[in-house]
């Protein structure tokens, strides 16, 4: 068993390597650091073109990247990509990578799926954006209703925007000021949701850049799976909506709902006239209608973005007929106006064309029938390695999404999950994979299987994971 210290997951040892082989299952921090140096050296020597591009970009892009998250990849600079197709990403130095990150869900059905690529090419010569709908919009609306069970839909550019618009409408409809979110949640760069509780007070979460207002004014926060806490906060009467993923998947890592959690959440929100918004952006990994369809959830509103158009920016939010009528009364017709929702390029013709192709031909039952068994195989492979080495780690899965964590058991809530974070170990494992041609989502040990992933790909991950752990522990199973 591992010795947990400082919430970092795994204890360091100060004993010299040769004199004290690590205990079974424990990671020696000095060994980790030596191995990390070796991997960084290898990364540098094998990626000269990426390094050169990074160094030249540093002169004009903050941190050498167009978006700050791109420096979260391990190694001393990000890889620059030449092209990607299916689950293969090729970098500018000519290396091919087997991709389990898949654009952190944006490309979870494989890079540039043929039907989406064709739709993009077809639409590109017929106009890109008009601020008028195309035929595809009506087809998509019907398909979304069929998948997710909500009758009415609106579009946004990103999942962040869909969540922002849903929150605004919820406040407008209910006349209440606050959103309730769960500790450790992530719903994009939505101001009200980047919150935590410190000394009993809701405050902005560490690292949140320039919060516009006191989060205590906009937000209530409770732990996921804490029904008593939820009931107490909703009883205060100022909550417009609960915004949650069906299972937490992002900032905290995966936290699954307890049996009965969703039934109780629905009953409590109804009891207090609070709208329930389910964010399916990541849990679409559960099936073509997300966790909502797979588990019969009945939200008032549903938001989703990322993979809906195969990687072209698009998102949607759906709602019940009752909410649709209220939105209509508020936004359409004489004496109404609309500010705070929508955007000029939203639902542009290119995005609609790509989205229709993705929904019709890519995000299908057949795709999930392929992806989910492979994710089970992936989780089984990781679990086997964890058992072989008697590690105090666990693996969890939600449909086609798998995660392994440096904790002995699955956490019940976001705070417990955050205790299992180990940035040092994370970065090492990621870099080890990267140097051996495998991409894993940065900041998590989170992996997605896609319609283009094969059993051999999964076995390759298991083999490299096994080698990585063996080297870390300086042992064989």
- 279 near ligand PLP (CB under 6 A): yes
Q: What is the pattern of x (binds ligand PLP, CB under 6 A) and - over residues 115-154?
A: ----------------------------------------
Q: Which stretch binds ligand PLP (CB under 6 A): 84-92, 113-121, 184-192, 468-476?
A: 184-192
Compute CA distances 187 → 71, 176, 182, 237, 346, whole Å.
21, 20, 11, 23, 19
**Window contacting ligand PLP (CB under 6 A); options: 81-89, 186-194, 255-263, 447-455:** 186-194
State which residue, 43 or 291, has the beta carbon closest to ligand PLP.
Answer: 291
Per CB under 6 A, the list member of 134, 158, 252, 435 interacting with ligand PLP is 158
Q: 3-class secondary structure for 365-428?
A: HHHHHHHHHHHHHHHHHHHHHHHHCCCCCEEEEECCEEEEECCCCCCCCHHHHHHCCCHHHHHH
Nearer to ligand PLP, 160 or 225 (CB): 160
Strand runs labelled E in 24-119: 81-85, 88-91, 96-99
CB nearer ligand PLP, residue 302 or residue 438: 302
How far are the Cα atoms of 125, 320, 347 from residue 316, in angstroms, in the given order? 25, 14, 9
- 445: phi then psi, degrees, rounded to nearest 5: -100, 65
Among the candidate windows 60-68, 278-286, 341-349, 412-420, which touches ligand PLP by CB under 6 A? 278-286
Residue 187 engages ligand PLP in binding (rule: CB under 6 A): yes
- Determine phi and psi for 150, rounding to 5 degrees: -100, 135
CB of 442 to ligand PLP, least distance (A): 12
Q: Which positions from 234 to 263 touch ligand PLP by CB under 6 A, shown as an x/- string?
A: -----------x----x-------------
Q: Closest approach of Cβ 390 to ligand PLP, in Å?
A: 33
C-beta closer to ligand PLP: residue 181 or 395: 181
- Cβ 26 vs Cβ 3: under 8 Å: yes
Question: Residues 297-336: x/- map of binding to ligand PLP (CB under 6 A)?
Answer: --------xx------------------------------
Residue 450: how many other CB atoms lie within 10 Å: 24
Question: Environment class of residue 237 by beta-carbon count within 10 Å: exposed (0-12), middle (13-18) or buried (19+)?
Answer: exposed
Does 186 interact with ligand PLP (rule: CB under 6 A)?
Answer: yes
Distance in angstroms (rounded) separating the CA atoms of residues 308 and 405: 28
Which lies closer to ligand PLP via its Cβ, residue 169 or residue 469?
169
Q: Applying CB under 6 A, which of residues 134, 154, 160, 320 lies at the interface with ligand PLP?
A: 160
How many helices (H) and strands (E) are present in the chain, helices listed first? 15, 16
Contact by Cβ (8 Å): 412, 425: no
- How near is the Cβ of 48 to ligand PLP at its closest, in Å? 31
Of positions 193, 281, 346, 348, contacts ligand PLP by CB under 6 A: 281
Nearest residue to ligand PLP by CB is 188
Q: Report in angstroms how near the CB of residue 104 gets to ligand PLP at its nearest.
A: 6
Per CB under 6 A, the segment of 156-164, 172-180, 215-223, 381-389 that binds ligand PLP is: 156-164
The distance of closest approach from Cβ of residue 318 to ligand PLP in the complex, given in angstroms and rounded to an integer, is: 15
Total length of the chain:
477
The CB-side HSE value for 132 (13 A sphere, CA atoms) comes to: 4
CB 235 to ligand PLP: min, Å: 27
Q: Please tell me whether residue 304 adopts helix, strand or coil conformation.
A: strand
Closest by Cα among 396, 191, 400 to 283? 400
Choose between 159 and 197: whose C-beta lies nearer to ligand PLP.
159
Q: Does 159 bind ligand PLP (CB under 6 A)?
A: yes
**Minimum gap (Å) between residue 25 Cβ and ligand PLP:** 31
Between 106 and 113, CB nearer to ligand PLP = 106
**Nearer to ligand PLP among residue 77 and residue 186 (C-beta):** 186
Contact 49, 92 (CB under 8 A): yes
For the bound state, the minimum distance from the C-beta of residue 189 to ligand PLP, rounded and expressed in Å, comes to 7
* 282: contact with ligand PLP by CB under 6 A: yes
Question: Which residue in 75, 110, 188, 451 binds ligand PLP (CB under 6 A)?
Answer: 188
CA distance 285 to 290: 6
Residues 415, 225 contacting (CB under 8 angstroms): no
Q: For 149, left (φ over 0), alpha (ψ -120 to 50), or beta? A: left
Q: What is the DSSP string of 128-147?
A: S--SS--HHHHHHHHHHHHH
Which residues fall within 8 angstroms of residue 338, CB to CB, at 6 or more apart?
Answer: 331
Q: Which lies closer to ligand PLP via its Cβ, residue 303 or residue 377? A: 303
Nearby residues of 66 by Cβ (< 8 Å), 6 or more positions away = none
Q: Report how many residues bind ligand PLP under the rule CB under 6 A.
A: 13
Catalog residues that contact ligand PLP under the rule CB under 6 A. Answer: 158-160, 186-188, 245, 250, 279, 281-282, 305-306
């Amino acid at each position: 068993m591992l010795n947990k210290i400082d919430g970092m997951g795994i204890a360091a040892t100060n004993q010299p390597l040769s004199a004290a082989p690590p205990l079974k299952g424990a990671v020696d921090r000095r060994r980790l650091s030596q191995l990390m140096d070796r991997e960084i050296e290898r990364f540098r020597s094998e990626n000269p073109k990426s390094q050169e591009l990074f160094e030249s970009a540093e002169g004009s892009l903050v941190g050498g990247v167009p978006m700050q998250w791109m420096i979260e990849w391990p190694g001393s600079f990000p890889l620059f990509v030449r092209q990607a197709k299916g689950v293969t990403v090729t970098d500018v130095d000519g290396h091919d990578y087997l991709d389990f990150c898949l654009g952190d869900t944006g490309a979870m059905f494989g890079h540039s799926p043929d039907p989406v690529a064709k739709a993009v090419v077809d639409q590109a010569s017929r106009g890109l954006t008009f601020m008028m709908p195309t035929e595809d919009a009506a087809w998509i609306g019907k398909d979304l209703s069929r998948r997710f069970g909500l009758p009415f839909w609106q579009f946004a550019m990103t999942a962040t925007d869909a969540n922002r618009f849903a929150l605004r409408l919820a406040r407008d409809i209910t006349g209440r000021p606050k959103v309730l979110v769960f500790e450790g949640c992530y719903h994009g760069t939505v101001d009200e949701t980047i919150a935590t509780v410190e000394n009993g007070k809701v405050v902005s979460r560490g690292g949140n850049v320039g919060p516009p207002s006191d989060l205590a004014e906009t937000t209530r926060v409770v732990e996921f799976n804490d029904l008593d806490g939820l009931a107490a906060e909703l009883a205060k009467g100022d909550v417009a909506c609960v915004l949650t993923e069906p299972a937490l998947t992002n900032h905290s890592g995966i936290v699954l709902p307890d049996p009965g959690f969703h039934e109780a959440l629905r009953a409590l929100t109804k009891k207090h006239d609070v709208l329930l918004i389910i964010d399916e952006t990541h849990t679409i990994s559960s099936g073509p209608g997300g966790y909502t369809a797979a588990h019969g959830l009945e939200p008032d509103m549903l938001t989703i973005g990322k993979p809906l158009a195969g990687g072209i920016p698009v998102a949607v939010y759906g709602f019940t007929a009752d909410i649709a009528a209220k939105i209509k009364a508020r936004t359409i017709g004489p004496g109404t106006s609309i500010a705070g929702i929508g955007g000029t390029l939203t639902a542009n013709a290119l995005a609609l064309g790509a989205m229709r192709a993705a929904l019709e031909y890519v995000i299908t039952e057949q795709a999930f029938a392929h992806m989910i068994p492979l994710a089970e195989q992936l989780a089984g492979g990781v679990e086997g390695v964890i058992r072989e080495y008697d590690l105090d780690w666990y693996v969890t899965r939600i449909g086609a999404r798998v995660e392994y964590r440096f904790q002995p058991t699955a956490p019940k809530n976001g705070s417990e999950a955050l205790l299992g974070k180990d940035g040092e170990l994370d970065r090492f494992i990621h870099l080890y994979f990267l140097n051996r041609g495998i991409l894993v989502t940065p900041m998590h040990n989170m992996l997605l299987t896609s319609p283009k992933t094969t059993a051999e790909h999964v076995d390759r991950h298991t083999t490299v994971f096994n080698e990585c752990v063996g080297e870390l522990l300086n042992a064989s199973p």
